[in-house]
Structure 1
């Protein structure tokens, strides 16, 4: 899932931007996570290094810190080559620095402009659509979950299983789980060849298998979670 990161040292602007981002995510039903909102650039760097994310970054150019927004953007670009960086500023004349430091910014949004809200929303939607529906379209599937559309990166899936509720299935990723209505037969048609139907109730990502317990008919995933393999499908999994 794409993360949205805000770094703004003015608490009023920070709150306003955070609310704008969260409202846009809810209204447009975007599969985005407003993960971090801070005035400290070090927190942003630490978060990226720890989580290894791809993000949408809203950075104040004139941070009252030992690192301005442009230099923060430079460090972000080194850690997240696919991320989307948007500078919010009252000093458009400083935008040339982004070229100097090879930041590759998506946009510069003037805080006092009348269309600030529309520009922020536009940046969010453009980044979202570019990442999920543009160059990164391959390797994703889209699932409707109640009132929103979730875009799932196939390489993040550990396994998919049925639940105790009729026509309700659960997707397991390393850091999250979610459910939606569907069936394994239909979802399998959307998956790539590294996914294998190992049981009537499970589809497993073979790239995420840590160990196969043949004696107990269990598959242990890279994060320690377990699913089952039936005798019928065991041969295909081991071949």
Structure 2
């Protein structure tokens, strides 16, 4: 699962600048982040969220949007849809900072545009990394469930149902095996390993849920899962891997 990024900026030049900066960051970082919307008006944001509500999004909002709806009002509406939204304001009006606090929209940063492009870029990067960090921490505390999207549908499984996740024969897709069935969706193994602490990395292409192991034979290196699937683990796996499996089998 990726963390969606939304940008709303009414100035076309500034919108292009922030888009280029964010795309550059995403290109060189293997993070669970995805730029899903770059908009010039609040209406575009409302339209997008009405069709595809987001969760744990990162929102870069200009305060003065040149309409009767400013960035603070937009943030309030976003938070009604995405209660765990990470709001980051960008503006040339630094005197607006206290007003954002007064309105209690829970902004995590306030970035001034009137600075060098290098400083502006660095501030955007810092805000993005901070938003990702606090979202990661929240997810690790709450990840009793496993969620993913297929088209316009969101699937949610209790972690006890998850058996394993591995790369599919179809590029960029993963296969999820649950106790009762299999599913395919788009995501990255590395991102899921960071996001879901209950998953254990069996190999570069496979994550497993140790709690759904029925038997582990350390002579043949064959693991049998509760849904009947089997996987062979590499001979060079560390003691930590064996310890984690043995610990799960004892529960």
- Asked if structure 2 preserves the Cα contact closer than 8 Å seen for 1:162 and 1:201, the reply is no
CA RMSD of aligned residues (A): 3.3
Aligned to 1:7: 8
Gaps of 5+ in 1: 142-152, 203-239
* 1:154 match: 146
- Cα displacement (A) at 1:201: 7.0
1:9·1:60 contact (CA, 8 Å) conserved in 2? yes
Equivalent-residue separation in structure 2 for 1:100 and 1:170 (angstroms): 44
SS of structure 2 residue aligned to 1:64: coil
TM-score (norm 1): 0.65
Deviations 1:63-82 (A, max 9, x none): 11121111111111222111
Q: Number of aligned residue pairs: give it.
A: 184
Mark the CA change 1:187 to 1:102 in structure 2 (over 3 Å): closer, same or farther: same
In the alignment, does 2:115 pair up with 1:119? no
Scaled by the length of structure 2, the TM-score of the pair is 0.63
Q: 1:198 aligns with which of 213, 227, 232?
A: 227
Picking from 136, 141, 164, the partner of 2:139 is 136
Give the direction of change, closer, same or farther, for the CA distance of 1:183–1:19 in structure 2 (3 Å limit).
closer
Q: Secondary structure at the match of 1:109?
A: strand
Q: CA deviation at 1:174?
A: 8.2
The separation in 2 between residues aligned to 1:80 and 1:95, in whole angstroms, is 22
SS in 2 for 1:155: strand
**Structure 2 unmatched ranges of 5 or more:** 149-155, 177-181, 190-202, 213-224, 232-251
